[in-house]
């Protein structure tokens, strides 16, 4: 019996050793070597094509037709709930409510009917809200076999149940361990190699090796997410002495862009693992990290950014002017700070394909570790990146107008909705200045200080609070 147990233990040890050897051999030759050489064997695109075929097979089920009908009607309920008529002037709306065109020109006084205007405007804004729905996950028209997209679809038919079960085994039994191994490998190499490169005395050699190390580690991290990225118009890639600005959906936007070229990053100093990575990166590459007390000092931030872009030997700065993550459907207001420096701006549009996994980071719902685990247990991260032609501030154009022009170009190229609202509304309340503006408009209507033309202008500003939003 002892002899038999010894053979079994020996066999298990041999099998385990062979499995580990095969695992790390495949990891080295299929992932690390291509990342070092900057080549791809096309396996990820083959994997994406296979997934699309599987999704098509799952949607061909007769049971699934009822789901698409359900989605169709739910889309009707979500979109276009209110059929808005063309906006009339503020005076006309109050005149219609009061039932007389001359009542406002008589004695100025409040009437109970006036409150219906504000009630209607408030309900329209709540029901057809263009802001808060940008901070939640994007809706899918077809199920991608992930319960995070919908918790009940796997119960529709036996075919979908089997496909979903196989998907769980593949994603958590094969893909997740592989991706975690790649992520640990990429981060470990970044920490070790940047530490060693920092000791090189020759600045040119140090910069050259630092760029190669960063590219290699970023490419490994991209493979850790099974990211399939298509880059367009590479002739417009950001150059040294400029600022690259892009729309922001997820923290991995940095990895997506740095996979194709190195950038100097701007951000606040962190602690823990993120702090270790920041300190390792800045040893060998000119990144810009601010202490918490310095972040709100706009003049200091502008000075350090200006000094960086003035040195044409330094890498372009990567900035996300929205200041928060938006759910891959729109672009919100760009902060004007990065457009006041007076250098060339290189716009970049990033658009993710939600069929393979939702890249949006809802920071109010998921922590960073939880979010990364969700990304690594998704099917893949598929996105397109467009490099737009460089843009410069025109004569007579202020920073706000320049920022809006760049934002509009990014939105048009990426097929995103161009919104005027500040992404800071994700966590902050609406500023009191907006409420006071509405109160002033109503008071002018009551006292008769607003004529028809002023009413039209003010009413259009009410629908377009961009100027007040930027001023504040």
Q: Where are the domains of the chain?
A: 158-426
Closest CA to 376 of 212, 173, 104, 81: 173
Which residues lie below 8 Å from residue 446, measured CB to CB, with a gap of 6+?
108, 109, 110
Query: What pLDDT score was predicted for residue 78?
Result: 44
pLDDT value for 410: 94
Q: For residue 40, what are the contacts with CB-CB under 8 A and spacing of at least 6?
A: 34
Identify which of 261, 255, 384, 404 has the alpha carbon closest to the alpha carbon of residue 321: 404
Task: Report the Cα 2 to chain-centroid distance in Å.
Answer: 60
**Per-residue pLDDT, 244:** 92
Short-list 359, 353, 325, CA closest to 414: 353
Task: Quote the CA–CA distance of 241 and 48 in Å, as a whole number.
Answer: 37
Alpha-helical runs (H) found in 198-261 = 203-224, 253-258
Which of 2.60.420, 2.60.120, 3.30.530, 3.40.1130 would CATH assign to domain 158-426?
3.40.1130
What pTM, to 2 d.p., does this model score? Answer: 0.76
pLDDT of residue 115: 74
The one-character DSSP state at 153 is G
Burial of 317 (0-12, 13-18, 19+ CB in 10 A): buried
Listing DSSP states for 313-374 in one string gives TSPPEEE-TT-S---SSEE-PPPSGGGSS-S-EEEEEEEEETTS------TTT--HHHHHHH
Single out the residue of 448, 446, 382 nearest to residue 226, CA to CA. Answer: 382
Q: In 3D, which of 25, 19, 30 has the Cα closest to residue 223?
A: 30
Ordered mean pLDDT values, 10 residues apiece, the chain (472 residues):
65 75 72 71 79 72 47 45 53 62 55 72 67 65 63 62 83 88 88 86 85 88 88 91 90 90 82 76 79 66 83 88 85 85 90 86 81 87 93 88 92 88 68 73 68 49 48 44
């Amino acid at each position: 019996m002892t002899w038999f147990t010894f053979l079994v233990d020996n066999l298990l040890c041999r099998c385990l050793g062979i499995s580990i050897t095969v695992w790390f051999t495949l990891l080295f030759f299929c992932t690390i070597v291509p990342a070092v050489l900057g080549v791809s064997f096309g396996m990820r695109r083959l994997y994406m094509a296979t997934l699309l075929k599987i999704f098509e097979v799952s949607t061909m089920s007769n049971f699934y037709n009822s789901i698409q009908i359900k989605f169709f009607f739910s889309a009707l309920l979500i979109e276009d709930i209110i059929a808005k008529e063309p906006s009339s002037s503020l005076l006309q709306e109050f005149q219609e409510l009061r039932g007389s065109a001359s009542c406002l020109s008589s004695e100025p006084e409040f009437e109970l009917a006036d409150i219906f205007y504000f009630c209607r405007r408030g309900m329209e804004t709540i029901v057809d809200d263009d802001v808060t729905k940008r901070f939640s996950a994007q809706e899918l028209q077809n199920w991608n076999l992930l319960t995070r997209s919908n918790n009940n679809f796997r119960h529709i038919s036996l075919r979908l149940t089997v496909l979903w079960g196989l998907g769980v085994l593949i994603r958590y039994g094969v893909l997740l361990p592989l991706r975690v191994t790649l992520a640990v490998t990429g981060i470990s190499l970044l920490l070790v190699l940047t530490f060693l490169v920092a000791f090189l005395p020759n600045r040119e050699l140090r910069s050259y090796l630092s760029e190669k190390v960063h590219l290699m580690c970023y490419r490994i991290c991209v493979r850790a997410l099974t990211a399939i990225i298509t880059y367009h118009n590479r002739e417009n890639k950001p150059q040294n002495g400029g600022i690259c600005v892009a729309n922001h959906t997820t923290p991995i936007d940095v990895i997506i862009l740095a996979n194709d070229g190195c950038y100097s990053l701007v951000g606040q100093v962190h602690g823990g693992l993120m702090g270790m990575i920041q300190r390792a990166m800045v040893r060998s590459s000119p990144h810009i990290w601010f202490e918490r007390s310095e972040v709100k000092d706009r003049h200091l931030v502008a000075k350090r950014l200006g000094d960086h872009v003035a040195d044409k030997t330094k890498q372009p700065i990567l900035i996300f002017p929205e200041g928060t993550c938006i759910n891959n459907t729109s672009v919100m207001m760009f902060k004007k700070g990065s457009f006041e420096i007076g250098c060339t701006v290189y716009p970049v549009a990033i658009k993710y394909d939600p069929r393979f996994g939702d890249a949006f980071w809802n920071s109010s719902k998921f922590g960073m570790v939880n979010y990364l685990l969700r990304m690594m247990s998704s099917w893949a991260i598929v996105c397109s990146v467009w490099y737009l032609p460089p843009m410069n501030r025109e004569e007579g154009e202020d920073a706000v107008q320049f920022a809006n022009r760049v934002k509009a170009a990014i939105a048009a190229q990426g097929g995103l909705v161009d919104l005027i609202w500040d992404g800071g509304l994700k966590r902050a309340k609406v500023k009191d200045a907006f409420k006071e503006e509405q109160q002033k408009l109503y008071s002018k209507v009551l006292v008769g200080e607003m004529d028809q033309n002023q009413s039209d202008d003010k009413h259009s500003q009410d629908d377009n609070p961009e100027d007040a939003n930027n001023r504040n």
